[in-house]
Structure 1
């Protein structure tokens, strides 16, 4: 298959493994993103098609996706490889991203923003605890589901770090970059993520970014000075919380563990705690039974999931398991198979 394949048309859909690609919903230098259907279940998924010629720039993203299992981080289901392309099959969230939500419906209320950002903070703190930084946190990379679930997405600039490591790559989105990144100094990716979190929260409750100007140079000067207006339509405590996140000196900027304990984030709710991943256990016997009826070997499925191979067996299991989780008490109907 050519690495510059055309988008599937209404009359001809491109099949990749068990997935039928539909409309293109995004595109980068070496990758295209499609909405697709999982043939066996009829589930909508997202497929990121990556040219192997540009694979090295996506290797870190794949590492991050395979390393992170959190309810507020988009899940990777399967990796399909052809001679020219790599296809990442990921979950699809029907409500789109936070940027679209803000453009279509305006800023979130303070209460709505708190509910969303508790989930984002939980996901980001989990990433940092796992030694991974995001480096491109912004509304575009925060996805929304119908049930109010918020998920962190797009680890294209994600990278593994150690406790004392400093990064030097100038990356991210200008309006959300921390001062130390704009100064092109060696920086702590975790502290840079906290700054981006502050800008994103400000945008979420006001509809605008905190640092504005007639030119990028003037905006940069404001960022370096930490000069911005207090967010309107927000409590004094909420404004203080954002200003704390937007501390210019990274050594004085809070860690996400400190952020989790802040009163504004926990108002009216239990104090946010670091996410504890459930211990691995036996696979769902109903899903295994259903997969067996479709021709899968249970032992092979268990091995695939246990070794995290992200192949067809694991991908199918994860999709069916997620369908079961999202529709408790309802039967999951599969094409060519019995109901779950």
Structure 2
């Protein structure tokens, strides 16, 4: 592990003392000792100690090069950069993967959503609204830059003053942000993966970020992970089980009533034959009651939200259902979501 604790690092204009690690051996809390441009007492210093981290560090700095992103008040600020060529505490960088700088100096916020429990949201109704509003505004900025965040999740949404009436919320950790439409691999964390990403049809697009935001809000407000493969009763076939949930939660009630559903589920093209196999198995799983032993066999998505141990408030539930549309073409944009009644009092 690099021996960074207590070290003082210098940029061209400022000095920072590393206090303690925040994440492994690559993200640290640092004290701002001097500098004309950094007005905070604390900052976050991020470096790269593995090849994957090098790639992420490069991508993060490149994304801050887009003015729409760098200037957004809803994105964690890049404050400074530090070059430490040949630093003995950093491993050699793999050939062809040289980062643009050794350290990024980032704005300090108190923590991320992972550090908050559902009680924070229950006790402070303003918190969920602040998170939704800030993330949507950040997504507007990234869309204008032609970028999409493939790793939007509760670890990368940062909050200060979560118990106040006006919590400060910003999106950070931009190493997973890439060009819109990326589909070389299935991106997004599995429990937050949008239907079109599972299908491989559009890749990760701005609509996919809306889905990830909704599932993230659902997770932090209720404490329940509704999507993902955590509860699958079969060995293997995680992909098919996740896809089956979309069919079960959004389409089963229409299928059994022989009614036309109000939206479509993206289906894979011939370009991805393995995805077609997964969808075929998913259809079987979704329609077979034997695999669903939670007593919720006939519940649609609304009924499931109501039955959660910590159910969302009525206005938040309507907002989540507004966002959770399986068809990306009918899912609201960030701009449309910002004018939903749930957010009418935010940012005014």
TM-score, normalised to structure 1's length? 0.67
Measured in 2, the distance between the counterparts of 1:107 and 1:137 equals: 23
Choose from 74, 77, 84 the match for 1:75.
Answer: 77
Q: Which residue in 1 is equivalent to 2:224?
A: 208
* 1:122-148 superposed Cα distances (whole Å, 9 cap, x missing partner): 122122122221121222111111362
Q: From 8, 20, 30, give the equivalent of 1:23.
A: 20
* 2:143 pairs with 1:150: no
Change (3 A) 1:74 1:89: same
The aligned length equals: 256
Q: Whole-Å Cα distance in 2 between the matches of residues 182 and 99 of structure 1?
A: 25
| Residues 48 and 88, structure 1, Cα contact 8 Å, conserved in 2 | yes
What does residue range 301-316 of structure 1 map to in structure 2 within 5 Å?
none
Shift of 1:150: 0.6
Seen in structure 2, the aligned counterparts of structure 1 residues 112 and 237 have a Cα distance that, compared at 3 Å, is same
Shift in Å, 1:115: 2.8
SS of alignment partner, residue 175 of structure 2: coil
CA contact (8 A) 1:175 1:209 kept: yes
The 5 A counterparts of 1:1-340 are 5-8=2-5, 13-17=6-10, 18-27=15-24, 32-40=26-34, 43-51=41-49, 55-67=54-66, 68=69, 69-84=71-86, 86-94=102-110, 96-102=111-117, 105=120, 107=122, 109-146=124-161, 148-161=167-180, 165=181, 167-211=183-227, 213-215=230-232, 216-217=238-239, 218-223=241-246, 225-227=248-250, 228=301, 229-231=304-306, 233-266=311-344, 268-269=345-346
2:134 and 2:176 map into 1 onto residues whose CA distance is 20
Residues 195 and 53 (structure 1), Cα distance of their counterparts in 2 relative to 1, 3 Å cut: closer
Cα distance change, pair 104–269 in 1 and its aligned pair in 2 (3 A)? closer
Structure 2: give runs of 5+ residues left out of the alignment: 91-101, 233-237, 251-300
Aligned equivalents of 1:206 and 1:252: distance in 2?
Answer: 25
Report the Cα offset of residue 104 of structure 1.
Answer: 7.5
Give me the whole-angstrom Cα distance separating, in 2, the residues matched to 1:270 and 1:32.
34
Q: CA deviation at 1:211?
A: 2.2
